[in-house]
Chain A
Amino acid sequence: MRAYRPLDGVRILTFEAAVTLPAATRALADLGADVVQVRRPKRVLGNMIATYDGTMINKATVSIDLRLDEGRALALRLAAAADVVGNNFTPRVMRGFGLDPETLRALKPELIVMQLTGYGMPGPWAEYPAYGPSVEAAGGMNRSIGAEGDLPVRVGSGVFADQLAGRYATLALLAALAHRERTGEGHYIDLSMYESIVHVLGPQVMAASRASDGTRGGGVPQRTGNRDPLRAPQGIYPSAGEDEWVAISVGDDRQWAALRELIGEPLLNSPELATLAGRIERHDAIDEAVAAWTSTRTKDEAAELLQQRGVAAGPVQAAGDLALDPHYAARGHFRTVRHREDFEGADAHPHLSQVPKAVGMSRPAMREPRADGADNALVLRRWLGLDRAEVGRMRRAGVLGDPGPLHQQDIRIDQRGPYDADHVRKLGLSGSPSDGQAGASGGPSNAPSTRQSGI
């Protein structure tokens, strides 16, 4: 089966850091685009493996010293050979290198240029730096999670706004490519991470913009935690084990009858609970009975039993559950990326696909992240026709950096989890995991090698 690659041959040059634009260009790389990330030689930004690996897959890297005239000239030549040039630094960074959007747009009218910033350009906050959690807070997200009276609640993902703005950037760049295909025109796109958050809160924004008189749904929506005005009971209930939970949502009276019968708690047979209004009224008491039932079962058992009776329910999945989720496995949502050398004790690791499944085609193949500058010669030959001698000269002149190290640690050893032979076995990988302290071997596992399984 071939992979779906509508962007085959599309060239994307990207000056990017952290997660947001890297996530966007990663999705485009998964769709077949030729994505080249420009890195600066000997900068110890590093390939912080667990944080950034997911955004570096399927990309090539060149390392160019943009402080040198010749480095900047080389970057401009690459930009002129590209279809798309993007960056997600604060605006002054690219201005400082003479690679600002205006200069790039002047290279050729069909070039698509993206500036992705925390708060968008222009505007009084245009130059302000931001991380994802800053704009989640400013955009209204934290005040929309949890129950009325709670403190603001952060999204439980350090990169939510990054990924979200990355998805909008993917949309914007694909739309710009489609627009160019039809009209021949390029485009300057200014994308705001802040506005990306607000955009997914549209219904709440509309409600808030309407004056409240208490009856017609105006004003800032009340926070309802895990509950819902149209479904009860709905909640997240403790299941057997530590920090294990199951989500249940009773959508109608038939589901309620099924839940009641399954749990068998006489209290729930009260006729007052036969209607939605009655169940909302006594939600706390119902929750107690439901929690008593769920807490003696695993989250998967509880969800299965409810699902068999047509009740909407599911395990609240943690990161490890997702990596091992049999449903995801059946759909190929994770694909194994092989390393040239063992890393963290295994020769390959599974990664999420960043684009949806195209029916009848395989999920995108995945290539390990490349060390900084590992593709200098290849990219300069393919994009600019430079020969080996010229690339060698640029390297000696310090315009191009030498390939850097591929992997660096991104967390302290003492913060690590129990990464051991069992973990590697669960992942279905081969290798010799270290104990994380002194690099001692934990011994080879019996799991089949991914090298042999032909992934």
Chain B
Amino acid sequence: MLRVIELAGGLASQFATMTLAELGADIVKVELPGGDAARSRRQAAPGDFSFEYLNRRKRSVCIDRSTKQGRKLLLDLVSGADAVVEDLDAAIVRRQRLSYRSLRAANANIVVASISPFGRSGPRAEWVANDFIVQAMGGIVHGTGWDDGPPQKLPGELAGFLAGLQAAAMTVGAVFGVRRDEPGGERGDHHGGAGGVHFDISMQEAVSTHWTREIERWVYHGLGGSRGNRDMGLQGFPHTVMARDGWVFVLALMAEWEPLAHFLGLDDFVTHEWSDPQTRYERWAEIEPQFTASIASRGKYQWLTDSAEAGYTFAPIDDVLEMQHSPQLAARDFFGSTEVDGEALKHPRLPFNWAAAPAGENRAPTLGEHTDEVLDHLLGIAGDERAKLRAAGVTG
């Protein structure tokens, strides 16, 4: 089983290790005596379930890594682990001597994924930032919103989540690389068995990779692109339209107009005269009444099904509660359940099936809940020795 040490400063590392825990990895969440800063998020903003979502299935170990003994305990854990995922402040990494070099001295094969807003090199590495600033600098935001208004941010701490997803993938890939290079592995001693690697993951870069096409359109064609919500842009009719019971996303890319117009019940506009999106755009006022009435005549899920049968790709525009009642997600048993304050809350599971069972219990651990267990099982520290560490405030 993969064992990963998490040193969390923000949410990005926690997203990475949550996905790894869902894949069955043993996540040892090493927290300072004050606890992960994300633990208090819900106190500050009652609807913020980030900590509860991102820390399910982990073991919490409370170690004061700023002390000499604490740092040694941490390095001992590293020596028995496959990987470390961290998004600590660069200054803390320096002060507490937790650089890749230090970690590698404890374990030559350790895979370390470091996540930071801009990466740890380059002229803006030390800029002050949070997820909002990183999103804005990484692209996507510039294209989100309306033409006549400011760009809009994406929900939550999405830049951190995207970087965390990269970190999870790279960690698994690197551990695979290490294993196949080991004696007896698929490639034998291919790289001398020293397979450790350090990833310098930039949240900004993670955002930009989700904007690859827009960047390439500029590179190749000099196209700047306007704000993405220009509804008429692609097809010469709006995407976001009110159906009988809510919004539906009307999408039929590269569709021939005449059959589409027929499908949409635009009986007066089926002719070739209307096949150019530009014409429809310019004379939209003529089409609009029939279009609006037609879309409003069916429910949004009905549109999804009917359009799929006709080869189109309409979809309901659900909110995060409506979506929980989607028959597709129900059939796939997609949602898990985690307990928060004695109440069972739904959460998404990984978007793909997986062979191995997930790790641990499906809830976030309390601070230091697994300190004794981990010290005992992984480091062989029990009895008096463990009590002494606790009494000295090294562990909690």
Q: Is the CB of B140 within 8 A of A155?
A: yes
Bitwise, B235-272 to A at CB < 8 A (1) or not (0) is 00001100000010101010000000000000000000
On chain B, the residues within 8 Å of A27 by CB distance are 169
- What is the interface of chain A mostly: helix, strand, loop, or mixed? mixed
Q: Is the CB of B205 within 8 A of A356?
A: yes
Q: Is the CB of B346 within 8 A of A205?
A: yes
A138-B315 CB under 8 A given contacts A119-B328, A200-B161, A322-B208:
yes
On chain A, the residues within 8 Å of B349 by CB distance are 195, 199
Q: How far is the CB of A373 from chain B (nearest CB, A)?
A: 23
On chain A, the residues within 8 Å of B320 by CB distance are 140, 143-144, 201, 204-205, 207-208, 220-221
Give the complex CA separation of A167 and B212 in angstroms.
13
- Within 8 Å by CB of A251, from B130, B219, B228, lies B130
* B284 close to chain A: CB less than 8 A: no
Bitwise, B1-35 to A at CB < 8 A (1) or not (0) is 01000000000000000010001000000000000
Which bucket holds chain B's interface residue count?
35 or more
Bitwise, B166-188 to A at CB < 8 A (1) or not (0) is 11111011111111100001110
A156-B331 CB under 8 A given contacts A50-B217, A174-B172, A205-B324:
no
A178-B179 CB under 8 A given contacts A6-B174, A19-B213, A164-B210:
yes
Bitwise, B311-349 to A at CB < 8 A (1) or not (0) is 111111111111110111101101100101001011111
Q: Which residue of A lies closest to B214 (CB)?
A: A319
* A225 close to chain B: CB less than 8 A: yes
Q: Is the CB of B132 within 8 A of A226?
A: yes
Give the complex CA separation of A311 and B127 in angstroms.
9
| Interface residue ranges of B111-137 to A (CB < 8 Å) | 118-119, 121-125, 127-130, 132-134, 136-137
On chain A, the residues within 8 Å of B211 by CB distance are 157, 319, 322
* A297 close to chain B: CB less than 8 A: no
- Within 8 Å by CB of A50, from B44, B213, B317, lies B213
| Interface residue ranges of B149-168 to A (CB < 8 Å) | 150-156, 158, 161-162, 165-168
On chain B, the residues within 8 Å of A355 by CB distance are 166, 170
- Within 8 Å by CB of A54, from B213, B313, B347, lies B213
Further 4 A-B residue pairs, CB within 8 A, beyond A51-B216, A331-B205: A143-B319, A156-B229, A319-B214, A330-B122
On chain B, the residues within 8 Å of A356 by CB distance are 166-167, 170, 199-202, 205-206
Q: Is the CB of A174 within 8 A of B351?
A: no
On chain A, the residues within 8 Å of B247 by CB distance are 137, 142-143, 151-152
| Interface residue ranges of B136-152 to A (CB < 8 Å) | 136-145, 150-152
Q: Is the CB of A6 within 8 A of B141?
A: no
Q: Which residue of B lies closest to A9 (CB)?
A: B187
Q: Is the CB of A331 within 8 A of B133?
A: no
Q: Which residue of A lies closest to B113 (CB)?
A: A356
On chain B, the residues within 8 Å of A175 by CB distance are 23, 172, 354
Which bucket holds chain A's interface residue count?
35 or more
Q: Which 4 pairs from chain A and chain B are nearest by CB?
A: A156-B143, A6-B177, A217-B46, A417-B222
Q: Is the CB of B218 within 8 A of A196?
A: no
Name the segment of B49-57, B291-299, B365-373 touching the other chain: B49-57
* A362 close to chain B: CB less than 8 A: no
Interface residues of B (CB under 8 A from A): 2, 19, 23, 42, 44-50, 52-54, 100, 118-119, 121-125, 127-130, 132-134, 136-145, 150-156, 158, 161-162, 165-170, 172-180, 185-187, 195, 197-202, 204-206, 208-225, 227-229, 239-240, 247, 249, 251, 253, 304-305, 308, 311-324, 326-329, 331-332, 334-335, 338, 340, 343, 345-356
On chain A, the residues within 8 Å of B323 by CB distance are 138-140, 198, 205
Name the segment of A59-67, A69-77, A183-191 touching the other chain: A183-191
- Within 8 Å by CB of B220, from A53, A130, A158, lies A53
Q: Is the CB of B130 within 8 A of A208?
A: no
Name the segment of A227-235, A277-285, A437-445 touching the other chain: A227-235
Q: Is the CB of B200 within 8 A of A359?
A: yes
Name the segment of A344-352, A380-388, A391-399, A447-455 touching the other chain: A344-352
Give the complex CA separation of A207 and B345 in angstroms.
8
Give the complex CA separation of A152 and B239 in angstroms.
10
Give the complex CA separation of A311 and B200 in angstroms.
24
Give me 11 A-to-B residue pairs in the complex whose CB atoms sit less than 8 angstroms apart, sorted by A's number: A50-B220, A51-B217, A122-B331, A139-B318, A169-B352, A171-B168, A203-B54, A226-B150, A229-B44, A307-B127, A318-B218
On chain A, the residues within 8 Å of B240 by CB distance are 142, 151-152, 154
Give the complex CA separation of A129 and B349 in angstroms.
22
On chain B, the residues within 8 Å of A111 by CB distance are none
* A194 close to chain B: CB less than 8 A: yes
On chain B, the residues within 8 Å of A196 by CB distance are 351
Q: How far is the CB of B203 from chain A (nearest CB, A)?
A: 10
Give the complex CA separation of A354 and B210 in angstroms.
9
Q: Is the CB of B123 within 8 A of A326?
A: yes
Give the complex CA separation of A210 and B247 in angstroms.
23
* A376 close to chain B: CB less than 8 A: no
Q: Is the CB of A130 within 8 A of B313?
A: yes
- Within 8 Å by CB of A319, from B130, B139, B202, lies B139
On chain A, the residues within 8 Å of B179 by CB distance are 178, 181-182
Q: Is the CB of A123 within 8 A of B251?
A: no
Give the complex CA separation of A172 and B356 in angstroms.
12
Q: Is the CB of A131 within 8 A of B210?
A: no
Give the complex CA separation of A317 and B142 in angstroms.
6
Q: How far is the CB of A141 from chain B (nearest CB, A)?
A: 7
